[in-house]
Amino acid sequence: MGREIREGERGHKRGKKKSSAFRFIRRLFLGSVLFLFVLSVLGYVIFIRPEVNRLRGIAYDKLAGSNLKDLTKRADTVVFDTDGQQLGTINAGHFVYDKIEDISPNLQNAYIAQEDRNFKTHHGVDYKATLRAVFQLVKNRGRITQGGSTITQQVVKNTYLSQEKTFTRKIVEIMLAQELEKMYSKADIMEIYCNTNFYGNNCYGVEAASQYYFEKPAKDLTVEEAAMLAGISNAPSRYEPVRHPDLALKKRNQVLKSMETVGYITEAEYEEAIAKPLQISQNVQKGTDEDYMNSYALYAATIRMMEVNKFPFTYHFETQADKEAYQDQYEEQYNFYNRELRAGGYKIYTSLDPKIQNILQETLDKGLSKFQEVQENGKLSMQGAGVIIDNKTGYVVATVGGRGTEDK
């Protein structure tokens, strides 16, 4: 006689089957996790650790013998003509290294508010900011809309590394930033940062910039003046106020808003500051102005340095976003290498011929001499330009960008 199976027994058997299936899935999951963990450890030991050690060695080598005093003096960059004769100098003689007590707290606060709000607490790298920057990079399809580098990392880029965009360079940058924080105080790092930034118009370092734009020492910068300088150094060719006053004003006010948001200035102080117009003096110091030959030599040398460091020059773009992303990258790298040249210590050899240059300049000035209308900025309204190229070599031998000899 067959055994009668009751409903309760059926449920009990189904429960056993479900329990067995659950245990199998759990074991499979745990086994997979363990396998991946072991695989990761082996991968680290075999592949990643040697590379990390290699990169750490590069970082330590770059810091070996590093001395704060090495940054306090700058030599001139010298330009030579086609015959090897000195054509001019990109003068670094007006570079003055300011100690932190000679740098206005307003500028220090402006940089922290705008560039690195966790500067006083992190140990060289702000991982949250880095992740936010990566997220925005992906979100905006490769267009850089938010930086993730701390002030310490920017010091590393300004003083120890090229602007090459590689994963390896980024890892070295992070390691160097962490080591730099062990070597120097926060005050030292801020001091280096302010002295190694480029502020446009041949102003390398905050003291040169403060004297050029405001005719005052850096320790006396007001809130709005400090905000303007902090904005300029972010992208000098875009925000310097001589050629781009509207963009400079907009950027200055953005920095002031950041300072108000963080709490460095009150709402009333913010409103008072943004109501003030840009007031710059352009206190041109000896050796600051460049003629067209020196200016062109700097441009050509900057482009050459970008080529040597494998910058991917691009001339055709699929979308406007691609073009804007490229322009951001181009400007960042151009500013970096141009700043390096202006900082001093380089020799630039050119194909420029001063005799032909003088003939070209005189011809242009004479041809436009009857046009004497003057603009509000003091420049003649009617302008012209010219370039002479050697057909045999394809090299530029003379270049003129306007009436008069100085590229202002």
CA-based torsion, 183, 188, 191, 193: positive or negative: positive
Residue 137: band (very low, low, confident or very high) from pLDDT cuts 50, 70, 90: low
Q: Answer whether residue 12 is part of any domain.
A: no
Q: Answer whether residue 5 is part of any domain.
A: no
pLDDT above 70: residue 14: no
Q: Answer whether residue 263 is part of any domain.
A: yes
Whether residue 346 sits in one domain with residue 250: no
- Chain Cα centroid distance, residue 390: 36
Residue 397: band (very low, low, confident or very high) from pLDDT cuts 50, 70, 90: very high
Confidence at residue 176, expressed as pLDDT on a 0 to 100 scale: 85
Whether residue 125 sits in one domain with residue 53: no
Q: Answer whether residue 2 is part of any domain.
A: no
Q: Answer whether residue 305 is part of any domain.
A: yes
Whether residue 278 sits in one domain with residue 230: yes
Question: Among the three residues 286, 307, 340, which one is the final residue of a domain in this structure?
Answer: 286
Whether residue 121 sits in one domain with residue 31: no
Residue 163 is part of a domain; what is its CATH number?
A: 1.10.3810.10
Whether residue 133 sits in one domain with residue 273: yes
Q: Answer whether residue 121 is part of any domain.
A: yes
Whether residue 47 sits in one domain with residue 147: no
Question: Among the three residues 286, 303, 326, which one is the final residue of a domain in this structure?
Answer: 286
Tell me: the pLDDT tens digits for 302-328? 999 999 988 999 999 999 999 998 998
CA–CA distance, 112 with 83 (Å, rounded to integer) = 48
Tell me: the pLDDT tens digits for 233-278? 988 888 989 889 999 999 999 999 999 999 999 999 999 999 999 9
Range of the domain at 240: 94-286
pLDDT above 50: residue 288: no
Inter-residue contact 288 to 94 (CB < 8 Å): yes
Q: Answer whether residue 11 is part of any domain.
A: no
pLDDT above 70: residue 111: yes
129-138, 140-149, 247-256, 345-354: range with lowest mean pLDDT: 140-149
DSSP helix/strand/coil, 87: strand
pTM: 0.66
Inter-residue contact 110 to 255 (CB < 8 Å): yes
CA–CA distance, 259 with 256 (Å, rounded to integer) = 5
91-95, 98-102, 299-303: range with lowest mean pLDDT: 91-95
14-28, 124-138, 193-207, 215-229: range with lowest mean pLDDT: 14-28
Whether residue 159 sits in one domain with residue 84: no
Whether residue 142 sits in one domain with residue 52: no
Average pLDDT over residues 325-347: 84
Whether residue 356 sits in one domain with residue 307: yes
- b (16+ CB within 10 A) / e for 241-268: beebeeebbebbbbbbbbbbeeebbeee
Whether residue 52 sits in one domain with residue 117: no
In sequence order, what are the beta bridge partners of 90? 77
Whether residue 99 sits in one domain with residue 218: yes
**Tally of structural domains, the chain:** 3
CA–CA distance, 407 with 284 (Å, rounded to integer) = 13
